[in-house]
Structure 1
Amino acid sequence: MFENKIILITGGTGSWGHELVKQLMEKNPKEIRILSRNESSQVAMKHKFDHNLKLKFIIGDIRDKAALSEACTNVDYLFHLAALKHVPVCEEQPYEALKTNVLGTQNVIEAAIQKNIKKVIYISTDKAANPANFYGFTKAMGERLIIHANTLESDTKFVCVRGGNVLGTNGSVIHIFKNQIAEKSKIGITDIRMTRFFLTIEDAIKLLFKASYESLGGEIFVMKMPTLKILDLASVLIEASGRKNVHIEELGIRPGEKLHEILLTEQESNNTIIFDNEYFVILPDINIVGLKEHYSHYAPIDLDHYDSSSLLMTRSEIQSMLRKGGFIQ
């Protein structure tokens, strides 16, 4: 699929982008274009990949439709990662979140159609399901725009991939907890009952490729992800640090924060099939020619919803996952 192809990654200098580029390079593409606003991150990433000539770094913003369209010239596949992602930032500056996450996604759609890109893969989040904060609302709107794009007059296919938290990404709770242990001998948790979905970045990108290969266009691929209690995660990190007398402080839930995240809502479960052991697929309410027929032989799910409060990992399983990700010895 990707051999000798030109690929564009928006927001490609983040943690997802680094791992996506690393795994894409193994598939022998012709060129990978990395579009982002941060000059310093691009320079650092260029050094990390040893100035590989297949990588082309483009300073740009998905809010700038003309620059985005230029970056899309001759592109075969587009991974849309660019977004404002931090919940408090989006709560405090909703206009900026709207411009990037919604209007920017509209620009991606229009540029992809204009340049006849084969497929656009949009990276979404569990916070888009029954959103409780502005970030979640903007990502939910992005999903709807991407799905609707398949009804427009074009040959470009658009698909969503929805996942939860990825271990060790920029601003990850793991980095925060490790710094708090080292600097304060204290970890702050908003609520000790809180649970979350987690996956290693390597596994997340592998799943992302599967959706890229298998998708028809118009569906939402939902990653099946392990779940854990944030309290258990903190306890494992404290134990691994070897430090004594590290305390856990309960801070209270922040605005827009949920006790349990959800990857699949009760409403969506009515249109969801079991794709395989790693994915559910949500089919849209709107009519996209041939999509429901394509998935007609798959079994419907037997869940009312899919949230992070059930099938929790044990502390030993969390420990193994953190070791695999290289976060503890």
Structure 2
Amino acid sequence: MLNGKTILITGGTGSLGKAITKHILKEYPDVRKLIIFSRDEQKQFQMAQEYPSRQYPQIRFFIGDVRDLDRLKRAFQQVDFVIHAAAMKHVHIAEYNPEECIRTNVDGAQNVINAAIETKVQRVVALSTDKACAPINLYGATKLTSDKLFIAANNVKGVNPIRFSVVRYGNVMGSNGSVMPFFLQKKKEGVLPITDPDMTRFNISLQGGVDMVMYALKHALGGELYVPKIPSYRITDVADAIGPECEKPVIGIRPGEKIHEEMITSSDSYNTYDLGAYYIIVPTVPTRPLEAFLSQNQDKKVPAGFNYNSGDNTDWETVESLRQLIKEHVNASFEV
């Protein structure tokens, strides 16, 4: 699918961007070019040490910001596929710096769309988050806006055959700023601060996130929003898995946080179908007949009023399963 193609990843030096890079180079050794687009020169420098040009001549590092439309247009020249992973993502930081969050997550999304339409990009897959579903914080609101922009882009592209789609998932295990690396660090101090003992979150591995992006690149017709079927965890179980002997004071939730996260609301249910491994939310203003988005005899509509909530999930991680996942995906040397 990607051999002979040029792929660009915005936010390519982030946790998921690096995981996608690793996957592409392993699975598609004949990729024509893989462009890492980000604004952090230090992270690019460090990543370049992992992928020296002699060994990986197909990698290019491109300094740029999604806020800069002209720079994006330059970067998108002769690019086939764009994976949009750049975002300002920390909830509490976005609450205190709202304009910066909007400029990156909303204006940046529109810039990616405009640059992709004006160049010869064939497909764009944008990364979303569970916080975009029924948002109560600015980060979630900007990502919901971003999702809507990418879905609507399929209606304003004119005769351009480009396809825009979105993948939405929960907390990525071991990603920068996520709870597991934070708790592993705090374990050294003997204290694991709990925001709220009832808090739950969806959980997906980096590879699971990569697999969703690859699925969308291969199958999306344009306008779909993909949601994975993944387990939830209780924040208290994560704490018990990492530091059973640690103190666990309850410190209260941070600005803009939810107790539980959603990925599909009951209002979304009227446009949601079960694909097996994933749910798909089809566009409310479709560019194709509904049948085009669905597979014969496999996809089925979810019941009216269905919602997908981390607190009501039927699939749960346990303390023991979390310990195994931490060792496999976060820190190979982890021991209780």
Please report the TM-score for the alignment, with normalisation by the length of structure 1.
Answer: 0.95
Segment of structure 1 superposing worse, 213-222 or 295-304: 295-304
Segment of structure 1 superposing worse, 288-297 or 121-130: 288-297
Alignment of 1:1-329 (within 5 A): 1-26=1-26, 27=28, 28-51=30-53, 52-152=56-156, 153=158, 154-182=160-188, 184-239=189-244, 244=245, 246-276=246-276, 278-295=277-294, 297=296, 298-302=299-303, 304-309=306-311, 310-311=313-314, 312-327=316-331, 328-329=334-335
* Structure 1 residue 291 displacement after superposition: 4.5
* Structure 1 residue 91 displacement after superposition: 0.5
The separation in 1 between residues aligned to 2:60 and 2:326, in whole angstroms, is 32
The separation in 1 between residues aligned to 2:7 and 2:15, in whole angstroms, is 17
Render the CA deviation track for 1:94-152: whole Å, top value 9, x for unaligned. 11111110011001001001012110000000000000100000000000000000012
RMSD: 1.4
* Structure 1 residue 320 displacement after superposition: 2.2
Secondary structure of the structure 1 residue equivalent to 2:280 = strand
Segment of structure 1 superposing worse, 42-51 or 126-135: 42-51
Query: Does the 8 A contact of 2:34 with 2:58 survive in 1?
Result: yes
The separation in 1 between residues aligned to 2:209 and 2:175, in whole angstroms, is 11
Query: Does the 8 A contact of 2:187 with 2:243 survive in 1?
Result: yes
The separation in 1 between residues aligned to 2:68 and 2:187, in whole angstroms, is 41
- Which segments of 5 or more consecutive residues in structure 2 lack a partner in the other structure? none
Secondary structure of the structure 2 residue equivalent to 1:247 = coil
Is the alpha carbon distance of 1:193 and 1:149 closer, same or farther for their aligned partners in structure 2, counting shifts above 3 Å? same
The separation in 1 between residues aligned to 2:179 and 2:318, in whole angstroms, is 18
Is the alpha carbon distance of 1:208 and 1:296 closer, same or farther for their aligned partners in structure 2, counting shifts above 3 Å? closer
The separation in 2 between residues aligned to 1:283 and 1:4, in whole angstroms, is 30
The separation in 2 between residues aligned to 1:68 and 1:77, in whole angstroms, is 13
Which residue identity does 2:323 align to in structure 1? Q
Render the CA deviation track for 1:32-63: whole Å, top value 9, x for unaligned. 01111000000000001233211100110011
* Structure 1 residue 159 displacement after superposition: 0.2
Query: Does the 8 A contact of 2:174 with 2:330 survive in 1?
Result: no
Is the alpha carbon distance of 1:306 and 1:50 closer, same or farther for their aligned partners in structure 2, counting shifts above 3 Å? same
The separation in 2 between residues aligned to 1:139 and 1:6, in whole angstroms, is 26
The separation in 1 between residues aligned to 2:268 and 2:115, in whole angstroms, is 29
The separation in 2 between residues aligned to 1:252 and 1:207, in whole angstroms, is 33
Secondary structure of the structure 1 residue equivalent to 2:37 = strand
Please report the TM-score for the alignment, with normalisation by the length of structure 2.
Answer: 0.93
Which residue identity does 1:157 align to in structure 2? R
The separation in 2 between residues aligned to 1:233 and 1:140, in whole angstroms, is 28
Query: Does the 8 A contact of 1:159 with 1:219 survive in 2?
Result: yes
Query: Does the 8 A contact of 1:191 with 1:259 survive in 2?
Result: yes
Which residue identity does 1:257 align to in structure 2? E
Render the CA deviation track for 1:46-102: whole Å, top value 9, x for unaligned. 001233211100110011100110000000000000010000111111111111100
Which residue identity does 2:216 align to in structure 1? A
Query: Does the 8 A contact of 1:216 with 1:291 survive in 2?
Result: no
Query: Does the 8 A contact of 1:116 with 1:155 survive in 2?
Result: no
* Structure 1 residue 181 displacement after superposition: 1.1
Secondary structure of the structure 1 residue equivalent to 2:9 = strand
Query: Does the 8 A contact of 2:173 with 2:330 survive in 1?
Result: no
Secondary structure of the structure 2 residue equivalent to 1:323 = helix
- Which segments of 5 or more consecutive residues in structure 1 lack a partner in the other structure? none
The separation in 1 between residues aligned to 2:215 and 2:69, in whole angstroms, is 29
Is the alpha carbon distance of 1:326 and 1:293 closer, same or farther for their aligned partners in structure 2, counting shifts above 3 Å? closer
The separation in 2 between residues aligned to 1:123 and 1:170, in whole angstroms, is 16
The separation in 1 between residues aligned to 2:286 and 2:302, in whole angstroms, is 20
* Structure 1 residue 207 displacement after superposition: 2.4
Query: Does the 8 A contact of 2:223 with 2:286 survive in 1?
Result: no
